[in-house]
């Protein structure tokens, strides 16, 4: 897990998990009365919320102080409840945790000692050991996946339904669409299965002489503002239009969906699938 992408990963997760095993499941723990636990959780910051969100524990944060001198002061726990999911996932979390940040921290410290005290065989050997450990971590990240550690927790038939191969969903061919702005204004757009929804967006913008200066989305269930959508790359949330090709949308002849441009003026385009031909052509 590349937790460092989320603002820096805690480096004492092994010590914390071992310590949490001492506490009962589903029982509220007052952090202020547990000094060791308080200090172990102190550098988890926003990871307190991440683990809470995924059900690893239930945490209540201290009330935010307006005059707090640092961001971490607003991310301290007042109480925590260890969930049954923690007992199931703690080994998988630890085994797939990215420890590179901790190793890098030690290597940087050794570099500083080398500058202050001069190079020595002992420092050189220790840096070599840490570098090898970092390489081992990278190898382990490839060999051990979080998903593989979860497989034993679920029946095989459930796991087989959790992911559908993209190759099975992809329908190659030529797609013909009718894009309607109103009853009197419609355009026909022809795309390949290899074109993305971003390509479709660009075609609509050009066909209707728009300026492409607002956010937009494709709503595949034909319901405006539903969750079954693909959003503009400039939006804050995906999935995004450049991430999916036409052939992956499970479209069928007669299907209708919605393209909404400009969330302020809400310019709606109804899209109908007129034809799907299993003949590829150059884009």
Considering the domain 168-277 in this protein, what is its CATH number? Answer: 3.10.290.30
- pLDDT tens for each residue of 143-177: 445 556 566 666 665 555 444 444 457 899 999 99
β-bridge pairing 216-219 and 185-192 = unpaired
Report the C-alpha gap between 84 and 89 in whole angstroms.
9
Residue with tokens 């949330």: 237
The answer to whether the CB of 48 falls within 8 A of the CB of 41 is yes
The pair of structure tokens assigned to 108 is: 């940087």
* Coil, strand or helix at 152: helix
Q: Does the pLDDT value for residue 44 go beyond 90?
A: no
Q: Torsion over CA of 201, 203, 204 and 206, rounded to 10 degrees?
A: 120
- pLDDT tens for each residue of 205-233: 999 999 999 999 999 999 999 989 999 99
119 Rama class: left (phi>0) / alpha (psi -120 to 50) / beta: beta
| Rounded mean pLDDT, 192-213 | 95
Highest mean pLDDT: which of 3-7, 72-76, 245-249?
Answer: 245-249
User: How many residues are there in the chain?
Assistant: 283
The answer to whether the CB of 20 falls within 8 A of the CB of 43 is no
More confident residue, 197 or 281: 197
Nearest CA among 134, 107, 96, 74 for reference residue 3? 96
Report the C-alpha gap between 37 and 31 in whole angstroms.
7
Model-level pTM? 0.44
Give domain limits for the chain: 3-95, 100-143, 168-277
Report the C-alpha gap between 176 and 81 in whole angstroms.
55
Quote the pLDDT of residue 10.
62
The answer to whether the CB of 269 falls within 8 A of the CB of 181 is yes
């Amino acid at each position: 897990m590349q937790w460092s992408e989320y603002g820096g990963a805690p480096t004492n997760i092994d010590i914390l998990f071992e310590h949490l095993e001492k506490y009962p499941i589903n029982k509220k723990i007052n952090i202020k009365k547990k000094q060791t636990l308080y200090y172990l959780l102190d550098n988890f910051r926003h990871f307190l919320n991440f683990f809470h969100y995924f059900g690893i524990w239930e945490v209540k944060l201290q009330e935010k102080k307006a005059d707090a001198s640092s961001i971490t002061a607003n991310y301290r726990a007042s109480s925590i409840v260890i969930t049954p999911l923690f007992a199931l996932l703690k080994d998988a979390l630890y085994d797939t945790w990215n420890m590179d940040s901790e190793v890098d921290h030690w290597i940087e410290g050794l570099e500083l000692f080398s500058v202050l005290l001069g190079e020595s065989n002992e420092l050189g050997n220790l840096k070599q050991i840490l570098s090898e450990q970092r390489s081992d971590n990278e190898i382990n990240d490839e060999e051990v996946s979080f998903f593989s550690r979860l497989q034993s927790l679920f029946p095989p038939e459930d796991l087989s339904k959790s992911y559908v191969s993209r190759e099975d969903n992809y329908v190659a061919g030529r797609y013909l669409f009718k894009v309607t702005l109103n009853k009197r204004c419609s355009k026909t757009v022809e795309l390949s299965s290899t074109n993305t929804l971003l390509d479709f967006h660009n075609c609509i913008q050009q066909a209707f002489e728009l300026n492409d200066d607002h956010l937009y989305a494709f709503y595949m269930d034909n319901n405006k503002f539903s969750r079954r959508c693909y959003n503009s790359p400039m939006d804050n949330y995906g999935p995004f239009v450049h991430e999916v090709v036409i052939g992956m949308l499970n479209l069928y002849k007669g299907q209708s969906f919605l393209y909404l441009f400009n969330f302020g003026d809400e310019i709606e385009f109804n899209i109908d699938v007129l034809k799907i031909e299993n003949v590829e052509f150059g884009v």
